[in-house]
Amino acid sequence: MEIKQIGKKIKKMLVKRVELTKHEFDGEELAFYFKLSNFFVLKKRIEAELLVGAEVHKLPAELAQSNQLVVSIPRDLLKLVDTTSTVKIKINSEASWITKHPDYQEGDFQESVLVGSKYLTAQVRKNITIINRFVDFFFMEKSLGAAVSSAHYDTLTLEFDQPVPVMDEEIEVYAFNNRQFRVLSGTVDSTRQTVVIQNFLEMSAGLWRLFISIDKKLYPLSASFGAQQSFETYHHTVAVLSLHSNFCLELEPHELELKSMSISENEDSSFRLSFTAEKVKPGVSYTLLVDEPKSGIAKYYDLEKRASSFTAFVPVDDLLENLFVKRFFIVEQSENPKVYRFRFDKELLGYSDTLYKVVFNSQFIKMKFYRRKDLSLGLSATSSKLKKLIRSIEDFQIGGRIASIEDFIESTAYLMIEDRFSQESVKVEISGEFTVDLSDLDLLGIKSKDKTVLDVFVVIENVEGQVIRKEKIRYVHAHYKKDHFYSHQKVYDAENNEHHFMITTTPYNNVKIETFAIKSHIQLPSDVDAKDDHVWLIGERTNTAQDNGIVLFHWLQKNTEIEAYYVIEADSPEYEPIKDNPNVLAFGSDRHFDIAFKAKVLLCTHDFENILPYKPARGFFGYEHTVKIFLQHGVLGRKNVEYHKKYYDMPFDLFIVSSEPEKQVIVMEEMGYDDAEVAVTGLARFDNLVQRNKPKDILLMPTWRDWIHTDEQFLKSEYFLAYAHLIQNPKLLGLLEEYNVNVNFYPHYRAQNYFENEVGGFHERIRFISLGSKTVQQLLIDHALLITDYSSVSFDFTLLRKPVVYYHFDVDRFFRKEILRPIEETFIGGIGTHEEELITIIEDRMKNDFANFDYDISGIIKYTDQHNCLRIFNEVQKLVDSSAELPMADLAMFQAKEKMLDHSSLK
């Protein structure tokens, strides 16, 4: 251990470091100050540059005392920043990795840089990014002077140097804190010089700069006072400051200094918290508040008070209801109530037991009381880790190991095989080292349909037969390929139908079993390798017909001689509207097999599992002799998706994208495809994005979270709680009533049942949209504002020139495997990181009649001409037959129709 520590110290001494210590703006230039470490050369050649789009501007760089570097950005260059720009530094021709110095404070930049109509912030991530985060606001450089007339509990009265040019009695004051903002409501008196601001509940701790909104322009407030003033709110002490003449508010949470603290577990399954505190008010009652920042759940408990000593009892069940981090506060119940967080020295907690191991839900849970970074009291709880793995897959047998079962009280472990769609399952008991022959299990009996997926889980059941843990199990020697398998078995049922079972893994190396069946009467072709160039098989997910696949299918039927077929499950609601089309195939039908055996070209928005009735892998019915086109189901550039070339034995022959950056940066550089394998055509569904009527309602359409695998995980997830709280938020519901607007909630298909069944009666302004009741494309056209989190349908909405608001409450976890392009480049719209901020942005769009944000989308979507299907067809045809092009007569007719469509659409 000591050798390891010494190694770390030596490495730290040798690694070259460029650390940002501070940055400041003097009105003419933005200066960044760096400390250089471990550059063991006397002469250092410094090159600094600012990248604004494709332009590169050299920056002044000054080196002092060999290790102090100052890089400056002149005001004229700052004016060029549109959305994001990057500062890069080279030292002796070597690119530097910029990090934050321990002395660096995020608050250094919270005063903002106001240049022209732009409010710029900075972020350190390998380089320095200058961000015009609030591009949808118009900032004025001219300031309005204001002083504090009075300040008391939750109320701030401002006296302006001159009358404020507004007509209404109500006015809005915007407060900006680095990358956040809040809107404070104010009232103006008859003189138009006095503004009263109340209710600071939605503001968080930190430094905020104030602006006043007049005619949709934001004027900075300058401070016409010298001495600092302060007042109190429920959460904070608010200091009114003049920083470089800017009018600012600095909010600091109320704190209660503890002199002693004791935490103990009682026999009645509760915890006893005892503490003494300084500056406790006599004659005032207090309560204990325990909250979960992630879920928003807060509970109150009685506090027994004696002089300055307090005691509370908190049930273990309450603390472990969700295994989210808890925070503890004390609430003063007075005429002007306040909430205090605990403040204490780390040693104080050391005098009490802080680690506990309790039994909850038939398993051991570890609980830890600790001092948080903000010096307050926190509680973390972690469940017992279930140690399990698969070591071998051979001859349709899997061998592995399970351990730590002793942490589950009187419980039994099983390996369970479960049909993904019906949840029918079989299980076999396991312990220690185990081998399971899957041939011995009734896999045929749990299949819900001919082609399905069987997931492999380890489940723990207590003595009452209740499942207390259900987790997928990984294969330690996995080599993930979508069109490959580790073991294969063929089984015949009583009707002589042929069932294939293939053991495969997911991208996370979890084991699963893929299966398909061929009915006994289906005639296999004599030559499975023979394919017809003019037969194209198209689809999306097996149960949908509303994306790029169906749009391209209809276009091909209308504009070409290609024998195009669309495949979809017959029990899908989206099958009904198209079933009378003779070229629509019911998944798994005899015709589907017939067409699949001879189709040369496969086109799908997802993997070809969704359009083939058999396993898309080498050796299955000539699959290796097909031309494979990935139509996409969105614009790439955010989450790291699973379509990398390395994930296929036989990769896509053509990968459809919407812009040159998507092609070059994502699909080629990140995903490994060659230039000839990627075509910038735009998505087929963009052809149908035409806004003819002005809509008024809001569409709420979140995407999925790939770390949720079970019902229990979902219902206790931050994801479920975030949206369940949002659609019940009183302020949001009030806004919907005020503006006569509805929110139509369309959850991801995997979350539909949870939200429909688990959220108590929806407010009349919140309308649940069932899967398949409307196409996604029609939903996008029918709404004025889209609220999503990370879904790529936002690009479609932006293409319709309508505003998108993003809810990024779990952005770090969602992009835990790294984001492909910076957030500012692809999230085009307003971004809320928590519920209050999100609703503030929504309110702003409502007040502006759902006006769009002002963004340039050319780096995301190259073509906006409704000819995407034509470009896709031509690119595919080049692969099949380089001489086959759409006849010029047909092309002229098609373009004439599109021209008429353009004129009739809303622009």
pLDDT confidence of residue 514: 98
- Residues 234-258: pLDDT tens digits? 999 999 998 878 899 999 999 999 9
pLDDT at 147: 92
Q: Where a domain ends, among 383, 398, 432?
A: 383
For residue 385, what is the DSSP state? P
Assess whether 431 and 553 both reside in one domain.
Answer: no
703 and 587 co-located in one domain? no
| pLDDT for residue 750 | 82
Same domain assignment for residues 264 and 156: no
C-beta separation of 332 from 286 below 8 A: yes
Nearest of 727, 680, 678, 681 to residue 701 by alpha carbon:
727
Do 458 and 375 contact (CB within 8 A), yes or no?
Answer: no
Asked if residue 25 has pLDDT above 90, the reply is no
Does 780 share its domain with 702? yes
Looking at per-residue pLDDT, the higher value among 224 and 108 belongs to 224
Whole-number pLDDT of residue 203: 87
pLDDT tier for residue 776 given thresholds of 50, 70 and 90: confident
Beta-sheet pairing, 627-630 with 599-604? parallel
CA dihedral (601, 606, 610, 615) positive or negative: positive
Q: Is the pLDDT of residue 2 over 80?
A: no
In this structure, which amino acid lies at residue 236?
H
* Residue 882 confidence (pLDDT) above 80: no
Q: What is the CATH number of the domain that holds 668?
A: 3.40.50.11820
pLDDT digits (tens, 9 = 90+) for 726-769: 998 889 999 999 999 999 999 888 888 888 877 767 889 998 88
CA gap 878, 91 in Å, rounded: 47
**Residue 49 sits in the same domain as residue 180:** no
Is beta strand 584-586 parallel, antiparallel or unpaired with respect to 563-568? parallel
Residue that terminates a domain, selected from 102, 131, 160: 131
On the question of pLDDT at 20 being above 50, the answer is: yes
Residue 432 pLDDT greater than 60, yes or no: yes
Q: Is 853 contained in some domain?
A: no
Question: Predicted confidence band at 14 (pLDDT cuts at 50, 70, 90)?
Answer: low
Residues 460 and 420 in one domain: yes
Pick from 647, 662, 663, 658: nearest CA to 682 = 658
Please check whether residues 189 and 280 belong to one and the same domain: no
Residues 6+ apart with CB under 8 A from 331: 286, 287, 288, 289, 300, 337, 338, 339, 340
Reduced to 3 states (helix: H, G, I; strand: E, B; else coil), residue 74 is strand
Q: For 523, phi and psi rounded to 5 degrees?
A: -85, 120
Give the pLDDT of residue 628: 97
Q: What confidence tens digit (pLDDT) does each residue in 801-821 have? A: 899 999 988 877 777 656 656
What is the average pLDDT value for the chain, to the nearest integer?
87
Closest by CA to 260, choosing from 245, 276, 272, 247, is 276
Q: Of 173-187, 266-280, 702-716, 853-867, where does the model show the most confidence?
A: 266-280
Helix axis angle, 718-726 relative to 835-847, nearest 10°?
40
Q: How far apart are CA 871 and CA 767, in angstroms?
A: 38
How far apart, in whole angstroms, are the C-alpha atoms of residue 560 and residue 537? 15
Alpha carbons 78 and 72: distance in angstroms, whole number = 10
Q: Which two tokens stand for residue 26?
A: 């003097």
> Which of 354-363, 371-380, 780-789, 812-821 comes out lowest in average pLDDT?
812-821
Based on the structure, what is the number of domains in the chain? 6
Q: How confident is the model at residue 4 (pLDDT cuts 50, 70, 90)?
A: low
The mean pLDDT of 672-695, rounded to a whole number, is: 91
Q: Provide the pLDDT for residue 897.
A: 45
Which of 215-219, 472-476, 626-630 is least confident? Answer: 215-219
Residue 896 falls within a domain, yes or no?
no
367/404 same-domain check: no
In a domain, 873, yes or no: no
Is residue 859 over pLDDT 80?
no
The answer on pLDDT for 605 being more than 80 is yes
pLDDT value at residue 868: 95
- Whether the pLDDT of residue 885 is over 50: the answer is no
pLDDT tens per residue across span 547-571? 999 999 999 999 999 999 999 999 9
User: For residue 902, what pLDDT is reported?
Assistant: 42
pLDDT at 396 over 60: yes
What pLDDT was estimated at residue 141? 84
Residues 705 and 803 in one domain: yes
Instruction: Give 179 or 644, the one with higher predicted confidence.
Output: 644
Integer Cα distance of 61 and 128 in angstroms: 15
Q: Would residue 902 count as lying in a domain? A: no
Mean pLDDT: which of 112-126, 584-598, 651-665 is highest? 584-598
The residue type found at 623 is Y
- Mean pLDDT across 349-369: 86
Candidate from 284-298, 485-499, 766-780 with smallest mean pLDDT: 766-780
Is 60 exceeded by the pLDDT of residue 130? yes
Which residue among 460, 486, 518 closes a domain?
Answer: 518
Which one is predicted more confidently, 774 or 107? 774
Residue 592 vs residue 864, higher pLDDT: 592
Q: 888 falls in which pLDDT band (50, 70, 90)?
A: very low
Q: Are residues 636 and 562 in the same domain?
A: yes
Q: What average pLDDT does range 689-703 have in this prediction?
A: 89
Over 90: is that where the pLDDT of 773 sits?
no
865 is a domain residue? no
- pTM value is 0.73
C-alpha–C-alpha distance, residues 99 and 20, integer Å = 6
Residues 548 and 667 in one domain: yes
Judged against a pLDDT cut of 80, whether residue 612 lies above it is answered with yes
| Confidence class for position 8, pLDDT limits 50, 70, 90 | low
Would 855 be classed as within a structural domain? no
Helix (H) or strand (E) run with residue 154 in it = none
Report the CATH number at residue 709: 3.40.50.12580
Q: What mean pLDDT do residues 604-629 have?
A: 96
- Answer yes or no: is pLDDT of 109 > 60: no
Q: 230 in a domain, yes or no?
A: yes
Q: Check residues 488 and 637 and name the one with the higher pLDDT.
A: 488
Q: Assess whether pLDDT exceeds 70 at residue 3.
A: no
Q: Does 715 map to a domain?
A: yes
3-state SS, residue 449: coil
Residue 732 three-state SS: helix
The answer to which of 93-102, 459-468, 721-730, 848-857 has the lowest mean pLDDT is: 848-857
Do residues 248 and 275 share a domain?
Answer: no
Work out the average pLDDT over 51-75: 90
Q: Which residues contact 432 (CB under 8 A, 6 or more apart)?
A: 401, 402, 403
Q: Which CATH number does the domain housing residue 305 bear?
A: 2.60.40
- Which residue segment(s) compose the domain that 195 sits in? 144-253
Q: Which amino acid is at 636?
A: L
Q: How confident is the model at residue 905 (pLDDT cuts 50, 70, 90)?
A: very low
